[in-house]
Structure 1
Amino acid sequence: MILDTSFLIDLMDGKQNAIAKAQELTKRNEAQIITTVSIFELSSGLAQSKKPDRERQKIMQILAEQTVWPLDDDGAHIGGRIDGELAKKGQSISPEDCMIAGIALSKKQTVLSRDSDFKRISTLETEPY
């Protein structure tokens, strides 16, 4: 299961629904995977934070507990295709979400997210929390 950035932020903020979902995934022995794209997004937010030391500590704790997958060639090709197809239909989503979806599809993984933009990708399995 790929953990989207929205989930990671909610988890770091101590939101109960995210904490409960993380516990459920652990109980199910579900792999919990973070992408390098989410690291990029978290780092961007960190650079804008008013409390960067505290936020950095939260990010480092999350990263230490999870497997991290990079955006490889397959994920990049799939993500780029998704980006182009959605733009062509006038339904664009962020390039970062396209990259996360590309990684998920290339690895046959579900994305855990509350971000409704992922629903525009018909071939992508998502799980809410």
Structure 2
Amino acid sequence: MNLLYLLDTCTVSDFVKGEAGVLMRIRQTAPDQIAISTVTRMEIEYGLLLNPQRAAKLAPLLDAFLAAITILPFEDADAKAAAAIRAALRQSGQPIGPYDCQIAGCALVHGLSVVTSNTREFQRIGGLRLEDWRTNAG
């Protein structure tokens, strides 16, 4: 496996919406370099269940995309890293949502860059590499 990038939910959403910068970077990046966490997979599935009509339209695109990339399971080491992130940020008066800290924990454990347009939330996490493919900033 040659993984480099862990896409968060907003990046996958940007992809299915056809956001130009995200589409360009996904096309330029080998599928074996891209992953999502099972946390992001859950968030995607949740969104689809809330809107079955949209889900039916997106299913072919999403299914092909998810089949081409790696879906990393959220494991014990990820949980420990996420807990440490969440505790440190809470103690410093900067709470973070559980899903974002789980995605960050997974990225840190696997040495991946988080690809997100939500850089404000993630930039508070020490040692985490971020990229925003909407702007092509890396």
Identity of aligned residues (%): 28
* 2:66 aligns with one of 43, 63, 75: 63
> After the TM superposition, which segments of 4 or more aligned residues of structure 1 sit over 6 Å from their partners?
none
* 1:73 aligns with one of 65, 72, 76: 76
Aligned to 2:111: 108
User: Which digits, 9 at most, give the CA deviation of each residue in 1:22-56, with x for residues without a partner?
Assistant: 12223xx8611111011011011111125231233
Cα distance, 1:30–1:65 mapped onto 2, change above 3 Å: closer
* 1:52 aligns with one of 29, 51, 55: 55
Q: How far apart, CA to CA, are the structure 1 residues paired with 2:29 and 2:63?
A: 20
Please list every run of 5 or more consecutive structure 1 residues that lacks an aligned counterpart in the other structure: none
Q: Is the 8 A contact 1:113 1:127 kept in 2?
A: yes
Please list every run of 5 or more consecutive structure 2 residues that lacks an aligned counterpart in the other structure: 134-138
Matches within 5 A, 1:1-129: 1-26=5-30, 31-49=33-51, 50-116=53-119, 117-129=121-133
Between 1:50-59 and 1:11-20, the stretch displaced more is: 50-59
Letter aligned with residue 48 of structure 2? L
User: Which digits, 9 at most, give the CA deviation of each residue in 1:45-97, with x for residues without a partner?
Assistant: 11112523123333322211111101111011001111111122221222111
Q: Give the alignment's Cα RMSD to 1 decimal.
A: 1.6
Provide TM-score, normalisation by structure 2: 0.84
Q: Secondary structure at the match of 2:96?
A: coil
Q: Count matched residues.
A: 127
